[in-house]
Structure formats: structure tokens, C-alpha cells
Chain A
């Protein structure tokens, strides 16, 4: 494990060049211009390179593809394959280099990647949240007032796309990357370079979507429906490139998770001893691997429609917009469970710790996660109930959509029965988990209305469905995201988060989240359609209420940000190794976890939920064999 120490120091030019975020950005910008000028020499060469963006989609695509390649070269992703091609030994430099610079370069330590993900996703989550604030500012009045109509649509689209794209990896990126190898007793992920690649691709994607504002934005919202997307500004190409990159990143992330969990479990860690969090990650990863390629494919078709006039989605030329809608939702519905399932897993993982009881009904909980994962493939046309496609399949999709509430109910039953007669501690992560029950119950029950065709006729495309998916995704995913932050960040960074600020954050977020989204059910029932800049003047009071609540929700997020910066940047109170009294293995290691996780690969003899069943078994039996890494 000390190969790097004996490796020869790299030559001076390479030390100066660095291979870090800075060179990545510099080469990325260089690559962007190479692509831009290259495409102009293929299509429509012009002296005025920047004046004709409306007419040259190809240059936007090639510019960003060149930019991505340059970015990856600058980060050093091609060093390893080229070194191997030229017969040099592989370098472990990516893992061994210490210090803070690791966080700004290609690093194959799964713990560094986890923390990179946390801050990287946090940054784009913040940008997405700012968009939401601007949307609610616009909706303070029934007619459009602050932003031009096109800018408003861009804000709506950027908010939705950023949140969906980034938060798909919101739990698996930071927490699964950091914790799965530790939980299964491994020293790394199965494919460490691919692990780093998923993160940096996501960052490149985020930059691409943010720069859509320089190309006129895009009018379609996060669904990107054709044929509207065929007539969008070049900013539409940024949407396509963003989501395609996110799709590639998700596919690779999912593959990596599956390979790691299936092949790298330590001795004794049988499937029924696997932490429920790992089961949640596994079921999510399967969805990612199978769903995200469909997204990449449909976006490739859309990119061809826009550049090569293939007319896949143009009815007048023999295409069909249903093709886009179907392919998009084949990805899109598993996608919402990609967002929801990690939340289920975190709730089930944390409840035993804070009620001091074993996870109730382990097998039922696993069955619930896998059942949701399976059923999520058979429900997508409920997004198309009134679209005019397959009128005779609507009863089937109504049934399958309602069936999915059965395995979802397993999570509720197992969670509630774990609380039952427990010794509940209302810590900050526990409060976020308990809030999940409230939010997801309302989100799930409102989903029953949307799944029922007669009721969906009114609620479809209205603020009701918008409230529904904010309850399930923000109430389900983002609340558990914060639970995971408060629960695991002390372990990941070695510093405690302030509990009082955490509680203030929780209560303000819980109150203002509900105050923001509960009225939206009523607003939707009263006839306000989504994504419209105008609404009936009679709905202004409710809309203003929602806007003010949303601003308060934004302030609550600032409290969290302050807590994070204050606790980790200034107070730096060292965290205990096991602040929550957890029996999970990551809390038996020091905080933060050392570079190679374990001195010896642990041997498991039980699941981590044996509260009340005597002292936990030793992870490191005497005479254990040396690690397998």
C-alpha cells in the first residue's frame, strides 16, 4: 500500500501542469473553443462566430463535447489508460496524494469522492433552490412582472432539470460512495476511477446547464417534450447535453454500486446481514443502470432532430411526439424512484439507531425496496393518461400505479414497527426521518388521486401534481438527505455539526416546507396549471402565501449552510467515533475514517441492528487474514 512512497517523483513539467481542477477548467475552456471553431468550419463558417448561434446547433454540441474532453484530460483521466498503453506501471498517485488538494483533483479514494459529491451536489442544489426563489418571486402577482416570459420558463426548466439531474445522485453520490465500501467491509469501490469519473462528469454537466442562460435558455421545463424542444433556442442543447451527461454518470455510478455490493462484501456479510441502506442503494442502482441509458438514447435522438433534421418527433414528417413522451417516461418514472428509494433506505437505516431496536421485518423491508424497484417499470404511462395514447391501457396503468403503494407501504410498516415500543431519541437526524413519514404519507396519498384516471383528468398538469412530487421528492428525498448529512457528516469530516442550529434548521424547514407545498394542492385543485406565468387573480392570496413560505424555506436552507460553514470551518469540534451509539460498522472506525478504512478486512457475524440483543460481536476476530485489497 506504500507504492507511491517509493515511486519516483514526477518530472517538473508535470508537477507544474498538475492535473487538477484548474488545469481541467483551462483545458475545458480550450476544448470548448476548439469544438466551437471546428463546427463552424463544418457548418456555416462565419466571420462573426458569436453572432450566429441561433443557426448553428452543431457548434454548441461540438463545443461542449470538446470542453468535456478537455476537462477530463486536464483532470488526468487519460493518464492511466495512456500510461498502460505505453507500458508504464499504473500509478496510485490519485489515491495516495494527501492534503486538501485531493478534493480538487481526480482522486480514487471513495471517501474523498463522497465528500466531493457532497459539496458539488450541494452547490448545484443551491443554484436550483435560487431558481425556485426567483420563480416564486415572479408568481407574487397574477400577471408577469419581474422576468420576461422566456426567462421565466428558463428558470422553471433550470430549477426542475438541475434538481432532478443532480439529486438523482444526491444520496448515492455522497453517502453510498463514502459508506458502501465501509459498510460491506471493503477498502474501495469496485471501479475507483469510474467512481471519480461519475463525479467530475456531473460537475461538467452542472456547468453546462448553468451556461444555458448564455444561449437563450430553454422553454420546455425538465421534461424537454418534443416537438417544443425542436424549436427551442440553442440553450435547449445545453439541456440535452446536461441530461445526457447526467445519464452517463448515473449509469456508471449504478454499475459501480452493483459491482461493489455484489462482489466485494467481506466474509460473513450474507445478503440477510447487509445493512438496509446497502439494499436501498442496490435497488436504486439497478434502476439507474436500466433507466438512464434510455434517457441518453432519447436525448441523442432529440439532438439529431435538432442538428441533422432526423424528425423522430415531428408528426408532419412521419415522426411522433408520443415516441419522445414514452421514451422519456420509461426513464422518467424509474427516475422518481431513483430519487425516492434512497430516502426509504436512510429512514430504515436510521430508525433502529434512534429507537434502540432492531429493524423490524428486515425481509419485508428488502422486499418493499425491490418491489418498488420492479414495479416502477410498469407505471410510466400514467403520465400520459390524457395524452390520447392507448386509451385502452389506462385501466392497466391505473392498477399498476396503485399496486406500487403496496411495497411502499412495507417501508411504512417496517419503519413504524421499528419505532414501536422503542426508546426514541429526538436527535436532528431522527427528526428528519420522522418528518419523512409525514411528508411521504401526504405525497403518497395525493399520488392516489393522480393515479386514478377520473381524478387525474383535473389534477394532471396542475399545481396539484407539482405539490405531489415536491412532497415525495423534497419531503422524501431532501429531508432524508439532510438526515444523512446530520447523521454521517461528523463521521466523514471528523467534526461535529451544531445540534441547536440543526434543530432550528429542521423545524423551520419542516414548517415552511409544509406551508409552501400544502396550499399548492388546493391551488392545483382550483385550476392553476403548472409552468404558467399567469394565474387567476382569485388565487393571488394563496400564491403569495406560498411565495412567502418559500422564501422562509430558503432562509431555513441558509441556516443549514451557516451551520455547515460555522461547524466545519470555524468551530471544528472533534466528533466522537460513535456519537449516536450505532452498531453499524462505520461507527466502530475512527472519525474521520482512515485512508484504507480497515487494518484488517472485518468478518461479519450479524446484521448491524442487534439492539437489545447483547453486546455487538467483534468485527475483527483474532487471526483474521490480511486484507484482500
Chain B
């Protein structure tokens, strides 16, 4: 199999137009595969339709999958065709291929093609991001803010659980996130100790919980459902057990839950409201970081 470095140049190649064959096969394959992927595969990609942000992410993923399908097809056709057609004969001397050292037309075509795809994807991603924040944490000064009335919920991470605080309901706290359906929610994510990451999977929300930082994320809930909350940033020993269920419930259920929680909370409210120096709960009512410590 060892080839002679002084091997004779290849005999004049046949007149087969290999390039045209690859291009035609690619176009045919892409024309078949791309719509199939767009229609049948795209919507299967999580996180699903649990929230407006989730729906948007699914659309975004579908579009990207559709864009990369022709790229995958091109490489697949190229390698299947190329490796079958251009291998050295298994017996006899190894001949040199034609000494092609470049082709400025192909290079320019490639650069323009990849640039167009890249700029399109970046532009599209930015457009989608600015719609409603896509469910990501945006820090204390969000730029993609959905309009309209928003319910505020504070998410407080600590080793190793999340606590949810509802300022509009008298500051009640819960260790389960319960949200009303069809509501714009403004999540303020912060942490008491190390970095955590609040990930409400079915709602398409992820925001890091940083100590001393108010990280804002938006989500618009849809129909009632149960969703999963996990910590997505390594936060120490029991990181793997930092998960819980949350619920999206209809308006009536939400109000009954809230009044029930308020009753439970009433007993400890005086203690929670008292400043720590006067014997109140440590950290009571001080979860929202002071403005001068906000990063951004």
C-alpha cells in the first residue's frame, strides 16, 4: 500500500462531470429532506408549547434545523459520492491525483454562502430574542420586555432548593411554583449563596440565580399543566436533588391556592416582616438586592 513519492501523475481523467452529479444529487435530496424535516421533525423538538416563550423556541429550533438540513445533505452526498468514486485501486501502484491547488470561484461561492446563512441566523435569532426575551435571564435591566400587565414572582435559590415569593400577594412564600394560566409573569431570580440556575423546562425558562443580582426573565403561561423545575448550574453537593414540580393552574384555582397560602403565611408574617436586628427572620424581606449591588 506504500506509495512512491515520485509516483507518476494520474492518466488524463475521464470526462465524467463529478461536480454536476454531486450538485444535482444534493439539490434533489435537499428538496425532499428539508420540507420533511421542517414539517415532521421540527415541532417534536422540546421544550414544547407550555408557554409563549416555549413556542417561540420550538419555532426557532425548527427553523435552524431546516436551515442545517441542506448543509447535512451536502456533506452526506459529497462524502458518499466522493469516497466511493475517488478511492485508490486496492491493487497496483497508487497514482497521484490531479494537482488542483484551488479555485477562486468555489472559494468565493463558499464564503458568500456560509456568510449569508450565518448572518441570516444571527439576524433571525436577534429578532426572536427581542420579541419577548425567549425565556432567558436578562439581568437587572432587561431589554426584551413584553408589554402589558405582568405578575411578579421572585425566585430565590439556595443550597439546595428554590423558594418562590409573590410580592403582589402580600409577600407570601412557597416552595412550589404555582402560576395562573394565560398570564405574563416577570421572574426575578436571585440566590442566597452560590450560583444556581432556575430552569423551568416545559415553560422554556432558564435564568441563573446569582448572589446579589436580580436576574429578570419573562414567561407567558398557557393552559394549566405540571412542569418541572431543575437547577441547571452546578451548586454543590446536592445539586442533583435540587428539583421540584411546578403547576400552571386556572385563575380560580390560583386564587384559592393563594388565599390558602396567605392563611398559612399569616402566622409567620410578623416574624418575617421584622428586621433581622429586632429578632426577625434572617434575610426576611431583604431578598431583592439593593440597587447599588446590581450587576449588569
Interface residues of A (CB under 8 A from B): 144, 149-150, 152-153, 219-221, 223, 225, 227-228, 231, 314-316, 320-322, 355-364, 384-392, 394-395, 398-399, 402-403, 405-406, 409-410, 412-413, 416-417, 419-427, 434, 437-438, 441, 445, 448-449, 451-458, 460-462, 525-527, 529-534, 536, 576, 578-583, 587, 610-616
Contacting pair B295 A525 (CB below 8 A) = no
Contacting pair A361 B75 (CB below 8 A) = no
19 A-B pairs besides A394-B129, A581-B2 with CB distance below 8 A are A219-B237, A223-B234, A227-B194, A228-B195, A356-B96, A388-B189, A389-B295, A394-B136, A398-B129, A399-B126, A413-B106, A421-B13, A421-B18, A452-B125, A455-B125, A533-B241, A534-B241, A612-B98, A612-B99
Which positions 253-278 of chain B face chain A at CB distance < 8 Å?
Answer: none
Contacting pair A419 B211 (CB below 8 A) = no
Assess whether B279 is interfacial by the CB under 8 Å rule. no
Contacting pair B68 A445 (CB below 8 A) = yes
Complex Cα spacing A449 to B57, Å = 10
- B50-65 vs A, Cβ < 8 Å mask (1 yes, 0 no): 0001001100110010
Contacting pair A364 B107 (CB below 8 A) = yes
Contacting pair A458 B206 (CB below 8 A) = yes
Partner of B102, one of A362, A395, A582: A362
Contacting pair A390 B296 (CB below 8 A) = yes
Contacting pair B5 A386 (CB below 8 A) = no
Closest Cβ of chain A to B70, distance in Å, is 11
Assess whether B238 is interfacial by the CB under 8 Å rule. yes
Partner of B197, one of A386, A392, A587: A386
15 sampled A-B residue pairs with Cβ under 8 A: A225-B195, A316-B211, A355-B86, A360-B103, A394-B129, A395-B122, A402-B122, A419-B83, A423-B88, A449-B61, A453-B134, A530-B232, A531-B239, A581-B4, A611-B97
Complex Cα spacing A363 to B103, Å = 11
Contacting pair B136 A358 (CB below 8 A) = no
Hey, which chain B residues are within 8 Å of A615, CB to CB?
A: 5-6
Partner of B75, one of A153, A384, A423, A437: A437
Closest Cβ of chain A to B66, distance in Å, is 12
Among residues of A, the one whose C-beta sits closest to the C-beta of B125 is: A452
Contacting pair B6 A616 (CB below 8 A) = yes
Contacting pair B137 A388 (CB below 8 A) = yes
Hey, which chain B residues are within 8 Å of A387, CB to CB?
A: 137, 139, 208, 210, 215
Contacting pair A453 B129 (CB below 8 A) = yes
Assess whether B9 is interfacial by the CB under 8 Å rule. yes
Partner of B296, one of A389, A402, A456, A526: A389
Closest Cβ of chain B to A295, distance in Å, is 19
Hey, which chain B residues are within 8 Å of A357, CB to CB?
A: 96-100
Complex Cα spacing A391 to B218, Å = 13
Closest Cβ of chain B to A398, distance in Å, is 5
Question: Which of A231, A409, A427, A437 lies at the interface centre, i.e. has the most chain B CB atoms within 10 A of its CB?
Answer: A409
Closest Cβ of chain A to B220, distance in Å, is 14
Complex Cα spacing A119 to B243, Å = 43
Which positions 124-169 of chain B face chain A at CB distance < 8 Å?
Answer: 125-126, 128-130, 134-144
Hey, which chain B residues are within 8 Å of A526, CB to CB?
A: 46
Closest Cβ of chain A to B251, distance in Å, is 27
Contacting pair A356 B3 (CB below 8 A) = yes
Contacting pair A225 B234 (CB below 8 A) = yes
* Contacts A445-B71, A525-B45 given; does A420 touch B82 at CB 8 Å: yes
Hey, which chain B residues are within 8 Å of A416, CB to CB?
A: 75, 78, 82
Assess whether B186 is interfacial by the CB under 8 Å rule. no
Complex Cα spacing A452 to B67, Å = 13
Contacting pair B5 A457 (CB below 8 A) = no
Complex Cα spacing A240 to B95, Å = 54
Assess whether B179 is interfacial by the CB under 8 Å rule. no
Complex Cα spacing A152 to B61, Å = 33
- B277-296 vs A, Cβ < 8 Å mask (1 yes, 0 no): 00000000000000001011
* Contacts A437-B79, A581-B3 given; does A399 touch B122 at CB 8 Å: yes
Hey, which chain A residues are within 8 Å of B130, CB to CB?
A: 395
Closest Cβ of chain B to A407, distance in Å, is 9
Hey, which chain B residues are within 8 Å of A434, CB to CB?
A: 79, 83
- B192-228 vs A, Cβ < 8 Å mask (1 yes, 0 no): 0111010101001111101111111100000000001
Hey, which chain B residues are within 8 Å of A225, CB to CB?
A: 194-195, 233-234
Closest Cβ of chain A to B38, distance in Å, is 16
* Contacts A534-B240, A612-B96 given; does A315 touch B212 at CB 8 Å: yes
* Contacts A315-B210, A405-B118, A445-B68 given; does A457 touch B86 at CB 8 Å: no
Contacting pair A616 B5 (CB below 8 A) = yes
Contacting pair A423 B102 (CB below 8 A) = no
Hey, which chain A residues are within 8 Å of B61, CB to CB?
A: 449, 455
Assess whether B32 is interfacial by the CB under 8 Å rule. no
Hey, which chain A residues are within 8 Å of B79, CB to CB?
A: 434, 437-438
* Contacts A386-B206, A616-B5 given; does A610 touch B99 at CB 8 Å: yes
Assess whether B10 is interfacial by the CB under 8 Å rule. yes
Hey, which chain B residues are within 8 Å of A424, CB to CB?
A: 82-83, 86-88
Hey, which chain A residues are within 8 Å of B213, CB to CB?
A: 315, 322, 388
Closest Cβ of chain B to A237, distance in Å, is 17
Complex Cα spacing A53 to B215, Å = 37
Partner of A425, one of B87, B128, B138: B87
Closest Cβ of chain B to A91, distance in Å, is 40
Complex Cα spacing A451 to B78, Å = 26
Assess whether B231 is interfacial by the CB under 8 Å rule. yes
Assess whether B27 is interfacial by the CB under 8 Å rule. no
Contacting pair B207 A386 (CB below 8 A) = yes
Assess whether B94 is interfacial by the CB under 8 Å rule. yes
Question: Which of B5, B135, B138 lies at the interface centre, i.e. has the most chain A CB atoms within 10 A of its CB?
Answer: B5
Assess whether B35 is interfacial by the CB under 8 Å rule. no
Partner of B97, one of A219, A423, A451, A582: A423
Contacting pair A582 B5 (CB below 8 A) = yes
* Contacts A316-B211, A391-B296 given; does A578 touch B235 at CB 8 Å: no
Partner of B101, one of A150, A315, A358, A587: A358
Assess whether B72 is interfacial by the CB under 8 Å rule. yes
Hey, which chain B residues are within 8 Å of A445, CB to CB?
A: 68, 71-72
Hey, which chain B residues are within 8 Å of A530, CB to CB?
A: 232, 234
Contacting pair A231 B64 (CB below 8 A) = no
Closest Cβ of chain A to B264, distance in Å, is 29
Hey, which chain B residues are within 8 Å of A153, CB to CB?
A: 234, 236-237, 239
Hey, which chain B residues are within 8 Å of A388, CB to CB?
A: 137-140, 189, 207-208, 210, 213-216, 295-296
Closest Cβ of chain B to A559, distance in Å, is 21
Partner of A457, one of B96, B135, B143, B212: B135
Closest Cβ of chain B to A440, distance in Å, is 10
Question: Which of B13, B114, B119, B144 lies at the interface centre, i.e. has the most chain A CB atoms within 10 A of its CB?
Answer: B114
Closest Cβ of chain A to B217, distance in Å, is 8
Closest 8 A/B residue pairs (Cβ): A581-B3, A388-B215, A315-B212, A533-B240, A454-B134, A612-B96, A391-B138, A612-B99
Among residues of B, the one whose C-beta sits closest to the C-beta of A578 is: B5
Contacting pair A425 B125 (CB below 8 A) = no
Contacting pair B100 A360 (CB below 8 A) = yes
Contacting pair A356 B94 (CB below 8 A) = yes
Among residues of B, the one whose C-beta sits closest to the C-beta of A613 is: B99
Complex Cα spacing A527 to B230, Å = 9
Closest Cβ of chain B to A387, distance in Å, is 4
Hey, which chain A residues are within 8 Å of B204, CB to CB?
A: 457-458
Contacting pair B228 A441 (CB below 8 A) = no
